[in-house]
Structure 1
Amino acid sequence: MAEMTFDDVATPARLRVLRAGPGATIQDSGRHGYLRYGVTPAGPMDWTAFRTANLAVGNDDRAAAVEVSIGGLELICEGSALAVAFAGGGFAWRRDDARLPSAACLLLRPGDVLTAQAGNSGAWAYLAVERGVDTPLEMGSRATHLRSAMGGIEGRMLREGDALPAAPRFEPLSQAADDAAIDAPWLAKDAQPFRVVLGPQDDYFTAEGLATFFREDYALTASADRMAYRFDGPDIAHARGHDIVSDGIALGAIQIAGDRKPLILMADRQPTGGYPKLGHVIRADIGRLAQMRPGETCRFAAVSVAEARFALLALEADIAETPSRLRPLRWPLTSERLLETNLIDGCVDAFKDSSRPFT
């Protein structure tokens, strides 16, 4: 790659939205510390893919990125060159006409067009830019919460014409990194049951109701959104009714209301709720859960708090290895690529020891 110049510092880098499907928003790690005041954290649906993309481009998880839904996204790089990374789901990515892996780190030049389309699996992908998307802070966060119209760009989904500026670069990078694929096996589709820690109101369900939940298949319904994933399947019987005094809602809480079906609370969950919570999907499995599409089925398995903690620490350790798991992309060999490449690394004088002159 060519070296960055002063122009790469003086000219602001940004991505311009050419097309945005429903559900594309700006998200950072979330609006934390305000849940007690009734403010929803928001943040990424799949925190594992979000963090992987940010680490691949040198950010931490406080940096804002673009969350892409199955509606897809198309952007063009403007201003100066910009390093980006993307990960999450089985999305099909292209830079101009070149196909890309589902997780990669690239240097975009002005005029480059980056496109994401839904693939055969997954519901969310994340596009991180070096230094983060520089939208205004609201209550310490750039995360978009659509129901309260807070964060991101005017608290709404992305649309054609939106400019997504990168935070300013104050000095040139000495050398841009080569395009690389991200080797992230922790993002692979996995059919294992989602692990659940019981409580705090598991005593509101009959023994048979709990057994049913952990024994049967449940299908994600079309009413799933960023607030909650609603599942359909065999009824889960209550033992003490389906109303409680409202208490706090944590990520992954499994509410069972009067319809006796699981409702799992996600990133845009309400701060409190008045239905009994059978348990919580562990944080290590939230990303896998978020990547489900309506119609897909799953199962659940009970685990201890210690097992949940061990799983999270192991996953965090894997994700932390992201910068060391970048692999150079192997591009197809074409005439155009050969002509663009300097294949000469020196010259040899075939007549050096000959009496004939070298011409």
Structure 2
Amino acid sequence: MFEVVKPGLTTTIQDLGRTGYQQYGVVVSGAMDAFALQVGNILVGNKRDEAGIEVVIMGPTLRVLADHVIAICGADLSPKLDGESIPMWKSLVVKAGQTLTFGKPVNGGYTYITVAGGIDTPLIMGSKATYTKAEIGGIEGRSLQKGDKIAFGKPSSMVKAGIGLPIRQIPDYRSGRKIRVILGPDHDAFSGESVERFLSEHYKLTSQSDRMGSRLEGPSLSLLRGADIISDAIFPGTIQVPANGQPIILLADRQTTGGYTRIATVITVDLPYVAQMLPGNELAFEAISVEKAQRLYVEQELLLQTLSVAAGTF
């Protein structure tokens, strides 16, 4: 178990989300960086969709109450165990009485603590994910608070420390990268000049961004007709453009439908790079084909499956 000594900025329990209920208006929620959470679970012998602890920018202080195997994957928030730096993207043993802390954000904003056996919290509509606006999932549907005790499930007999993601596969969350997108479904609602601007200029993440979406600031995008459409389905990475011409990239806590024009959608493998951006970070967009996006997704899936085999969790 962990005991929360300090809760950090916004620390919640998250898995891969609450799927199958969007037709009832229930948002998916789940981890902002699904790749990091899945890798973390594999490294500690869990199924890839098990819940972990999502840490945002300013991490918590957690007291270890029992010997266990954990992994920390995602943004580098300078994790330490009893004041000593510990490796990321690699499973390690923590001992009862030790204290896990975090420091300065170095690269990205969201990191995940995964524990062998997973987090022992109730399933709500098939998921442990915390959605604070509806107060469901996790621990009482809220962020962690001082004094909370986080129970672990039963670990796999295969779990062991020292398993890590190869260095060349560790994501680099630094600002300024090209984010690959598939244009549409409403890109024809924009002038050709605006689409070209969207794909050639840089945008900056604003401080109004949250788990629902990343609000960008940059060259305005002009519409040939109004910004409103009949409410339609939206997906992880959907890029909406309201009347002010500034794009919004929808993320984990996005609504189930939207009424703004959709110029493009961020491909699945690049979505973690958007989620990991901090206010003031910059990005640019690059259009690719559906077929290439699918190939990149298959490559990532093969990586996760290969890691699962190496860790004995496949």
Whether the TM-score (by the shorter chain) exceeds 0.5 is: yes
TM-score, normalization: structure 1?
0.82
Who is 1:183 aligned against?
166
Deviation at 1:114, TM superposition (A): 1.4
8 Å Cα contact 1:34-1:40 kept in structure 2:
yes
| Deviation of the 1:181 alpha carbon | 4.9
The structure with the largest alpha-carbon Rg is 1
Alignment-derived partner of residue 94 in structure 2:
108
Match of 1:26 among 10, 13, 35: 13
The alignment yields a C-alpha RMSD, in angstroms, of 1.8
Question: How far, CA to CA, are the matches of 1:129 and 1:102 in structure 2?
Answer: 13
Q: Which of 259, 269, 273 does residue 284 from structure 1 map onto?
A: 269
Deviation per CA, 1:105-134, whole angstroms, max 9, x where unpaired? 111221121122342220100000111101
What is the rounded CA distance, in whole Å, between the counterparts of 1:318 and 1:28 in structure 2? Answer: 20
- Residue 180 of structure 1 and its aligned partner are, at CA, apart by 5.2
Aligned length: 309
- Per the TM alignment, residue 192 of structure 1 is displaced from its structure 2 partner at its CA by 3.2
Deviation at 1:179, TM superposition (A): 4.2
What whole-Å deviation, never above 9, does each CA across 1:128-184 have from its counterpart, x for those lacking one?
011110111111110001111110011111111111100135x9x59x734455435
Q: C-alpha separation between the residues in 2 aligned to 1:229 and 1:42? A: 15
8 Å CA contact retained: 2:29, 2:129: yes
Deviation at 1:322, TM superposition (A): 3.2
Q: 1:76 matched to which residue of 2?
A: 63
1:240 aligned residue = 225
Cα deviation, residue 319, structure 1: 2.9
SS of the residue aligned with 1:124? strand
Secondary structure at the counterpart of residue 126 of structure 1: strand
Gap change, CA 1:180 and 1:313, over 3 Å in 2: closer
Q: What is the SS of the residue equivalent to 1:128?
A: strand
**1:8 aligns to what?**
none
TM-score using structure 2 length: 0.93
Taking the aligned partners of 2:8 and 2:132, their CA distance within structure 1 comes to: 15
Q: Could you tell me how far 1:324 is from its partner in structure 2?
A: 7.2
- Name the CA distance, whole Å, in 1 between partners of 2:55 and 2:30: 13
Q: 1:191-206 to 2 correspondence within 5 Å? A: 191-206=176-191
Matched with 1:135 is 121
Q: Indicate the larger mover: 116-125 or 35-44.
A: 116-125
AA aligned opposite 2:83: D
1:47 and 1:287 in contact (8 A); partners too: yes
Tell me if the contact between 2:83 and 2:101 (Cα under 8 Å) persists in the aligned partners: no
1:97 aligns with 2:97: no
Moved more, 200-209 or 105-114: 105-114
Secondary structure at the aligned position of 1:203 is classed as: helix
CA contact (8 A) 2:69 2:161 kept: no
* Unmatched segments (≥5 aa) in structure 2: none
Q: Counterparts of 1:42-61 in structure 2 under 5 Å?
A: 42-61=29-48
Partner residue in 2 for 1:38: 25
Distance 1:28 1:147, change over 3 A: same
Is the Cα–Cα contact under 8 Å of residues 89 and 102 in structure 1 kept in the other structure? Answer: no
SS at match of 1:147: coil
Letter in 2 for 1:187: P
The structure-2 alpha-carbon separation of the partners of 1:313 and 1:186, relative to structure 1 and needing over 3 Å to count, comes to: farther
| Residue identity (%) | 36
CA shift for structure 1 position 188: 2.3
Answer whether contact 1:82 1:109 (CA < 8 A) is retained: yes
Q: Secondary structure at the match of 2:71?
A: strand
**For each residue in 1:190-242, what CA deviation from the matched residue of structure 2 results, as whole angstroms up to 9, or x when unmatched?**
54310010111111111011011001010000011000100000000101210
Which of 24, 32, 54 is the aligned partner of 1:67? 54
- Structure 1 residue 52: Cα displacement: 0.8
1:104 CA drift (Å): 2.5
Is 1:164 the counterpart of 2:150? The answer is: yes
Does the CA-based 8 Å contact 1:72-1:118 persist in structure 2?
Answer: no
* 185-194 vs 252-261, which moves further: 185-194
Match of 1:269 in 2: 254
1:90–1:122: 8 Å Cα contact kept in structure 2?
A: yes
Closer, same or farther: CA 188–323 of 1 in aligned 2, 3 Å = farther
